[in-house]
Amino acid sequence: MDTVIPILAWNTLISATIMGGVYFAFSTFMMPSLDALGSTHGMEAMQSINKVIVRSLFLPVFFVGTLTSAAVAVVGLYDMGRPGAVMLVAGGALYFFGMFVVTVVGNVPLNNALENEKPGSQAGDVMWLRYLAAWVRWNHVRTLSCLASTICLVSAIDRLG
């Protein structure tokens, strides 16, 4: 178990770092760039991104990181006497709830709703404006959660020795 915990922690740390970077990019320049294209083209581009992303390496990193984040949080809870256990719990929980759960309850339903609207229609234009505001807010949560998880996991790994 002493070798498995660092492997799980490192995997979660790498996943949190990668995903945090992806979410940061979307929050800071991808979504503003799509918005600058106008509602029709921005919406078409985002619909395309949503289709392509689920067939990319994004999804395995997303799911493997989610599984390892839950594992490190449980391991930390199970063995609170272990050096770094509190940070393992914090890092795993921040990633699991702030990245995975937020994605499932926030961003994915918005992506599904966007997919059901026709770009260039009046309903599509209204949807795009609502989508942008809500999606980016949820994405900020994911970005900050991944950053906080990264910080906690670096601390945990340092303490694990």
Among 17, 43, 51, CA closest to 120: 43
**Predicted pLDDT of residue 2:** 75
Q: Which domain holds residue 43?
A: 4-160
Among 14, 132, 35, 146, CA closest to 91: 146
Task: Report d(CA 136, CA 19) in Å as an integer.
Answer: 15
Q: Which two tokens stand for residue 122?
A: 């009046």
pLDDT digits (tens, 9 = 90+) for 61-87: 999 999 999 999 999 999 888 888 999
Indicate the residue type of 136: V
Indicate the residue type of 112: N
**Predicted pLDDT of residue 23:** 98
CB atoms within 10 A of CB 66: 21
pLDDT of 1 strictly over 70:
no
CB atoms within 10 A of CB 115: 12
For the chain, what is the domain count?
1
**Predicted pLDDT of residue 151:** 97
Angle between helix 4-25 and helix 122-160 axes, rounded to 10 deg: 150
pLDDT digits (tens, 9 = 90+) for 93-119: 999 999 999 999 999 999 999 999 999
Look up tokens 């989610």; give the residue: 66
pLDDT of 13 strictly over 90:
yes
